[in-house]
């Protein structure tokens, strides 16, 4: 047994109430597909929910709720490859299949070995006849061979001899039923399910998705080095199964290995998925060899994402990193997929892609830039759909969907269920057009971090220009104000989707939307000017850029309206007129007021009436922009925003936010680390524990919160170091948060072709080490000085602002 330590995450004892949370957090994946940490002997019920999801594998179904037909596209729960059940058999015949809810579990333990990317499970079952069976399992979703998964099981008969029946299956009877709120929606995505056999030890299952017509095929080989009798069962159902009869002698251990291949018609380099799956399993080496190549792949990943933060925070960050790497691995770079907000770990939000990539790409840019590029390419491939959406709404340019799936159309549900009131309500969150600015922001930051002008000047520029064009057209000039306004939107806050008692959705001039739009417009003008002449001509021809357009962009970039009240940036126009909520009364009345919108709706009220936000909205600006950038953005817009004004704004929203999204704690922690350090830790702590403690009241079991997980990594990497990658330099402006990083922390980044650049901050010093290579030296800037670090050198810089001559020492 591996001891619990920084490299493991373990759960002791069997706790049905926490099982779904464990399943989500013990998910194993490789960026191509992922499987929840369900027990292989369990099928979906109230407690257990096995689920396997392949990146980008969606299907669209119509359901009938609240008297309406609604269409939803969701990430499909694929056939369960893990299924393996067992029961002792003696002269009296077979017992029941052992199951944790029906048999006694004397010991039960699950250990996620983060560094190795394997899940270990150990259970001692006692059946009704008192027979003790120890079950030890090791599973993995292969990180080097991304179509393969393995399950090794060691069975030990502790106090009996006889036979053990082991049934290994590929279960195609599954459906999408992992989120109770969606229970009224159609979840039957798999059709034409055909079990089959492949050779003496092999079973297969093929099927397709109902409307997207993706073909899915699995093949499994289940073997034991011990002599066993095996038979492939009759294939009458949507489940392929093979039965093994293992002779068991008291005290002896028998091993069973299940090797599985999973292909879909989206998998690269194949013809028929079934043929590919059978071929892959047929040629797959044995368990030990596959384990070795899997461990090598994980070792390489950890090296590229080295993170050294001490204590419990470090342990949690490694878990976050683990789940980020399993959802978005180097294999993702080969796929046409976006960033699924809830990982590949469950069915919440139906596997959709939101603005959450804003919290994910900045981390990936400095470790796996090829993955960032692929994720941005996912957006570029759907630029046509975004332009069509803009056109349909009467605008030019690209209007990206708030929720995106397979083809880039708007996937936001039109009705959502308030579980508190039981009412289906209209969902207006698709009005979050700020997602376009997030995409443009990510493209420009990616290019700054990587220097990838090839991408920036081609797909990147085309996307950014179309997003800018949308904003320029979307903004309408208001002669009375002498400014441009963007009306009828929803901001990141999401609670405010209309004015109180209004008969149409949307609010006007969301400050976050307008300021980020102004930034995109200004950057688009600069980008256009910086394109090589032939490319500028080509792109202008391609998108049919009018002569006067650039001038309009410049004008809108300088004259977008930002509302203020009492020296505070207003979240939107009219915010100042909203009622104050009696926060204390609501806190007294309800245990948890994170989802205040649902509480108020269930009370017959509406959150639209109050100065109450779900999550950081205005404050998001300080997550995206450094204090200097933010000041210059407000200057560009002709507003005075000094430090005092910003602090007043922070205070205002801090007292009026319910943190109903895991992103909220993260952003508040990030912002407060600079604005009000003493209060930052509470929020950073909330961001760190969001999923492990399931702070959003049971939502983690439906999928991890990938944005918050990656965001915490980025908090260490950029938030607390002030690391920026602009102007072809690495600049740093550290803001220490000792509760998080102890007396020192470090990490490794990949920067402009330098692999393994190490940064370590401890005891008021920054050490930067650049490995030997033929790349250009790196310019490192601190607020008061700059140095140039050549490959093969290591520099130590004192971080206090004493005269530069005292504070700089070369040691390499
Ligand atoms: C948040 C959004 C986020 C989405 C997906 C929502 O609860 O309010 O900001 O994009 O979850 O993570």
Q: Model confidence over 698-730: pLDDT tens digits?
A: 899 999 999 999 999 999 999 999 999 988 899
Contact assessment for residue 38 and residue 345, using Cβ atoms and an 8 Å cutoff: no
Name the nearest CA neighbour of 767 among 796, 793, 789.
Answer: 796
Range list of H helices, 544-589: 549-559, 583-589
In the sheet with 104-113, reading across from the earlier edge strand, the strands are 8-12, 104-113, 118-126, 132-141, 148-157, 253-264, 215-223, 202-209, 190-197
Instruction: Give the gyration radius of the chain's Cα atoms.
Output: 28
- Sequence-distant contacts of 562-568: CB under 8 A, at least 24 apart: 562/509, 562/511, 562/514, 562/515, 562/634, 562/637, 562/639, 563/509, 563/511, 564/639, 566/648, 567/644, 567/645, 567/648, 568/645, 568/648, 568/649, 568/652
- 267 Cα: distance to centroid of ligand 1 (angstroms): 29
Q: What is the pLDDT of residues 741-754, one digit of tens each?
A: 888 999 999 999 99
Contact partners, residue 218, CB within 8 Å, separation at least 6 = 78, 79, 81, 170, 204, 205, 206, 260, 261, 262, 263, 277
The H helix count followed by the E strand count for the chain is 22, 34
Q: What is the pLDDT of residues 577-632, one digit of tens each?
A: 999 999 999 999 999 999 999 999 999 999 999 999 999 999 999 999 998 999 99
Looking at ligand 1, which atom is closest to the CA of residue 707? 12
Looking at ligand 1, which atom is closest to the CA of residue 706? 12
Report the topology of domain 731-810. Answer: Maltose phosphorylase, domain 3 (2.60.420)
- Residue closest via CA to ligand 1's atom 8 equals 661
Ligand 1 pocket: which of 431, 661, 711 to mutate (most atoms within 8 A of CB): 661
Contact assessment for residue 488 and residue 508, using Cβ atoms and an 8 Å cutoff: yes
663: Cβ below 6 Å to ligand 1? yes
Residue corresponding to tokens 């601190």: 782
Q: Do domains 8-303 and 332-717 have the same CATH topology?
A: no
- From the centroid of its chain, how far is CA 746? 23
**E-strand stretches of 352-475:** 415-418, 423-426
Helix, strand, coil content of the chain in percent (nearest 5):
35, 25, 40
Q: Per-residue pLDDT averaged across 783-801, rounded?
A: 91
Q: What is the pLDDT of residues 88-127, one digit of tens each?
A: 987 777 789 999 999 999 999 999 999 999 999 999 999 9
378: Cβ below 6 Å to ligand 1? no
Q: Is 494 a catalytic residue?
A: yes
Dihedral sign for Cα 7, 12, 16, 18, please: negative
Q: Report the DSSP beta bridge partners of residue 566.
A: none
- Residue closest via CA to ligand 1's atom 11 equals 661
Contact partners, residue 692, CB within 8 Å, separation at least 6 = 25, 316, 319
Q: What are phi and psi of 551, to 5 degrees?
A: -65, -40
Residue 801 pLDDT more than 70?
no
Q: Which helix (H) or strand (E) holds 363?
A: helix 357-365
Per the rule left: phi > 0, alpha: psi between -120 and 50, beta: everything else, 275 is alpha
**pTM: predicted TM-score of the whole model, two decimal places:** 0.97
Contact partners, residue 106, CB within 8 Å, separation at least 6 = 124, 125, 126, 132
Q: Per-residue pLDDT averaged across 404-419, rounded?
A: 95
Residue 810 pLDDT more than 70?
no
Q: Per-residue pLDDT averaged across 650-656, rounded?
A: 97
Q: How far is CA 730 from CA 63, 358, 727, in A?
A: 51, 20, 8
**What is the 8-class DSSP label of residue 457?**
I
497: Cβ below 6 Å to ligand 1? no
Residue corresponding to tokens 């700020």: 434
Ligand 1 pocket: which of 490, 663, 702 to mutate (most atoms within 8 A of CB): 663
Which is catalytic among the residues 41, 145, 462, 494?
A: 494
Residue 805 pLDDT more than 80?
no
Contact assessment for residue 706 and residue 342, using Cβ atoms and an 8 Å cutoff: yes
For 155, the token pair is 């069975």
Q: Are strands 808-810 and 415-418 parallel, antiparallel or unpaired?
A: unpaired
Looking at ligand 1, which atom is closest to the CA of residue 661? 7
CATH of domain 8-303: 2.70.98.40
- Residue closest via CA to ligand 1's atom 9 equals 492
Q: Which helix (H) or strand (E) holds 248?
A: strand 239-248
- Residue closest via CA to ligand 1's atom 1 equals 661
Q: Per-residue pLDDT averaged across 52-79, rounded?
A: 95
25 SS3 class: helix
- Residue closest via CA to ligand 1's atom 12 equals 341
690: Cβ below 6 Å to ligand 1? no
- 615 Cα: distance to centroid of ligand 1 (angstroms): 9
- Alpha-carbon distance of 465 to 523, in angstroms, equals 9
Name the nearest CA neighbour of 156 among 185, 139, 190, 131.
Answer: 131
- Per mean pLDDT, which range of 59-68, 434-443, 513-522 is the poorest? 59-68
- Residue closest via CA to ligand 1's atom 7 equals 661
Per the prediction, the chain carries an average pLDDT of: 95
Residue 1 pLDDT more than 90?
no
Contact assessment for residue 221 and residue 200, using Cβ atoms and an 8 Å cutoff: no
> What is residue 742's predicted lDDT score, i.e. its pLDDT?
85
Contact assessment for residue 716 and residue 736, using Cβ atoms and an 8 Å cutoff: no
302: Cβ below 6 Å to ligand 1? no
Instruction: Name the residue ranges covered by the structural domains of the chain.
Output: 8-303, 332-717, 731-810
Confidence band, pLDDT 50/70/90 cuts, at residue 225: confident
Q: Which helix (H) or strand (E) holds 388?
A: helix 383-392
Contact assessment for residue 569 and residue 560, using Cβ atoms and an 8 Å cutoff: no
Q: What is the pLDDT of residues 287-332, one digit of tens each?
A: 999 999 999 999 999 999 999 999 999 999 999 999 999 999 999 9
Contact partners, residue 588, CB within 8 Å, separation at least 6 = none
Q: What is the pLDDT of residues 373-400, one digit of tens each?
A: 999 999 999 999 999 999 999 999 999 9
Ligand 1 pocket: which of 494, 624, 708 to mutate (most atoms within 8 A of CB): 494
Contact assessment for residue 135 and residue 88, using Cβ atoms and an 8 Å cutoff: no
- Alpha-carbon distance of 363 to 372, in angstroms, equals 9
Burial code of 219-257, b = ≥16 C-beta within 10 A, e = fewer?
Answer: bbbbbbeeebebebbebeebbbbbbbebebeeeeebebb
**E-strand stretches of 31-103:** 33-35, 52-54, 58-65, 68-75, 84-90, 93-94
- Alpha-carbon distance of 408 to 384, in angstroms, equals 9
484: Cβ below 6 Å to ligand 1? no
Report the topology of domain 332-717. Answer: Glycosyltransferase (1.50.10)
Tell me the DSSP string of 220-235.
EEEE-SS--EEEEPP-
For 578, the token pair is 């909203």
Residue 807 pLDDT more than 50?
no
Q: Per-residue pLDDT averaged across 733-738, rounded?
A: 90
**What is the 8-class DSSP label of residue 507?**
B
> What is residue 477's predicted lDDT score, i.e. its pLDDT?
98
Provide, rounded to the nearest whole percent, the portion of the chain with pLDDT above 90: 90
147: Cβ below 6 Å to ligand 1? no
Contact assessment for residue 331 and residue 319, using Cβ atoms and an 8 Å cutoff: no
Confidence band, pLDDT 50/70/90 cuts, at residue 800: confident
427: Cβ below 6 Å to ligand 1? no
> What is residue 675's predicted lDDT score, i.e. its pLDDT?
85
Contact assessment for residue 415 and residue 424, using Cβ atoms and an 8 Å cutoff: yes
Q: Per-residue pLDDT averaged across 323-344, rounded?
A: 98
- 157 Cα: distance to centroid of ligand 1 (angstroms): 48
For 86, the token pair is 């067992």
Provide, rounded to the nearest whole percent, the portion of the chain with pLDDT above 70: 98
- 661 Cα: distance to centroid of ligand 1 (angstroms): 6
Contact assessment for residue 441 and residue 624, using Cβ atoms and an 8 Å cutoff: yes
Q: Report the DSSP beta bridge partners of residue 162.
A: 248
Confidence band, pLDDT 50/70/90 cuts, at residue 231: confident
495: Cβ below 6 Å to ligand 1? no
355: Cβ below 6 Å to ligand 1? yes
Burial of 467 (0-12, 13-18, 19+ CB in 10 A): buried
For 368, the token pair is 């796996």
- 148 Cα: distance to centroid of ligand 1 (angstroms): 32
């Amino acid at each position: 047994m591996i001891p619990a330590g920084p490299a493991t995450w373990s759960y002791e004892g069997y706790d049905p109430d926490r099982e779904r949370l464990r399943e989500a957090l013990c998910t194993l994946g490789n960026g191509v597909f992922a499987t929840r940490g369900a027990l292989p002997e369990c099928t979906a019920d109230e407690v257990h929910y096995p689920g396997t999801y392949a990146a980008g594998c969606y299907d669209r179904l119509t359901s009938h709720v609240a008297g309406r037909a609604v269409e939803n596209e969701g990430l499909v729960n694929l056939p369960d490859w893990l299924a393996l059940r067992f029961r002792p058999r003696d002269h009296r015949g077979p017992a029941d299949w052992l199951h944790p809810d029906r048999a006694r579990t004397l010991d039960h333990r699950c250990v996620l070995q983060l560094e190795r990317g394997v899940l270990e499970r150990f259970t001692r079952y006692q059946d009704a006849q008192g027979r003790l069976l120890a079950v030890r399992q090791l599973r993995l979703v292969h990180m080097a061979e991304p179509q393969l998964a393995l399950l090794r099981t060691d069975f030990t008969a502790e106090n009996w001899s006889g036979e053990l029946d082991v049934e290994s299956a590929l279960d195609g009877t599954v459906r999408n039923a992992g989120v109770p709120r969606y229970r009224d929606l159609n979840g039957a995505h798999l059709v034409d399910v055909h079990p089959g056999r492949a050779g003496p030890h092999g079973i297969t299952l093929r099927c397709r998705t109902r409307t997207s017509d993706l073909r899915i095929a699995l093949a499994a080989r289940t073997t034991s080095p011990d002599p066993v009798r095996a038979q492939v069962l009759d294939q009458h159902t949507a489940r392929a199964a093979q039965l093994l009869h293992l002779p068991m002698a008291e005290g002896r251990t028998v091993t069973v290995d299940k090797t599985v291949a999973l292909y879909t018609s989206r998998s690269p380099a194949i013809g028929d998925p079934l043929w590919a799956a059978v071929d892959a399993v047929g040629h797959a080496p044995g368990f030990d060899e596959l384990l070795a190549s899997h461990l090598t792949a994980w070792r390489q990943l950890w090296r590229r994402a080295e993170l050294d933060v001490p204590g419990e925070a470090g342990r949690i960050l490694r878990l976050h990193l683990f789940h980020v790497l399993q959802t978005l691995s180097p294999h993702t770079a080969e796929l046409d997929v976006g960033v699924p907000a809830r990982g590949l770990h469950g069915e919440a939000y139906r596997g959709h892609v939101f603005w959450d990539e804003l919290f994910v790409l900045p981390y990936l840019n400095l470790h796996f830039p090829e993955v960032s590029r692929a994720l941005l390419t996912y957006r570029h491939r759907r630029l046509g759909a975004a332009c069509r959406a803009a056109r349909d709404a009467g605008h030019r340019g690209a209007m990206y969907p708030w929720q995106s799936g397979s083809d880039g159309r708007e996937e936001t549900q039109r009705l959502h269920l308030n579980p508190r009131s039981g009412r289906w309500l209209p969902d207006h969150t698709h009005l979050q057009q700020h997602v376009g600015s997030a995409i443009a922001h990510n493209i420009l930051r990616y290019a700054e971090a990587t220097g990838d002008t090839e991408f920036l000047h081609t797909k990147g520029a085309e996307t950014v220009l179309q997003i800018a064009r949308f904003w320029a057209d979307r903004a309408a000039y208001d002669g009375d104000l002498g400014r441009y306004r963007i009306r009828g939107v929803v901001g990141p806050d999401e609670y405010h989707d209309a004015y109180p008692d209004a008969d149409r959705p949307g609010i006007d001039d969301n400050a976050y939307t307008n300021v980020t739009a102004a930034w995109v417009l200004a950057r688009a003008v600069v980008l256009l000017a910086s394109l090589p002449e032939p490319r500028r001509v080509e792109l202008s021809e391609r998108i049919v850029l009018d002569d006067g357009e650039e001038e309009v962009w410049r004008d809108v970039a300088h004259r977008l309206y930002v509302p203020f009240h009492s020296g505070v940036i207003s979240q939107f126009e009219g915010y100042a007129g909203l009622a104050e909520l009696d926060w204390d009364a609501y806190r007294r009345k309800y245990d948890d007021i994170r989802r205040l919108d649902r509480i108020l709706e269930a009370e017959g009220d509406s959150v639209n009436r109050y100065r109450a936000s779900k999550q950081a909205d205005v404050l998001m600006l300080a997550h995206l922009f450094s204090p200097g950038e933010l000041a210059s953005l407000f200057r560009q817009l002709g507003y005075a925003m000094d430090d005092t004004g910003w602090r007043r704004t922070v205070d205002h929203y801090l007292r009026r936010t319910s943190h109903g999204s895991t992103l909220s704690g993260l952003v508040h922690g990030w912002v407060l680390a600079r604005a009000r350090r003493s209060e930052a830790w509470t929020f950073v702590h909330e961001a760190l524990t969001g999923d492990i403690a399931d702070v959003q009241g049971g939502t983690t079991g439906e999928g991890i919160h990938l944005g918050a997980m990656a965001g915490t990594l980025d908090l260490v990497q950029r938030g607390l170091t002030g690391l920026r990658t602009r102007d072809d330099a690495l600049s740093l402006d550290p803001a220490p948060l000792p509760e998080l990083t102890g007396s020192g922390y470090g990490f490794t980044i990949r920067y402009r072709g330098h692999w393994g650049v190490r940064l370590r901050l401890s005891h008021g010093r920054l050490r930067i080490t650049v490995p030997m290579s033929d790349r250009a030296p790196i310019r490192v800037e601190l607020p008061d000085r700059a140095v140039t670090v050549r490959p093969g050198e290591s520099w130590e810089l004192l971080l206090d602002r004493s005269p530069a001559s005292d504070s700089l020492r070369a040691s390499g």
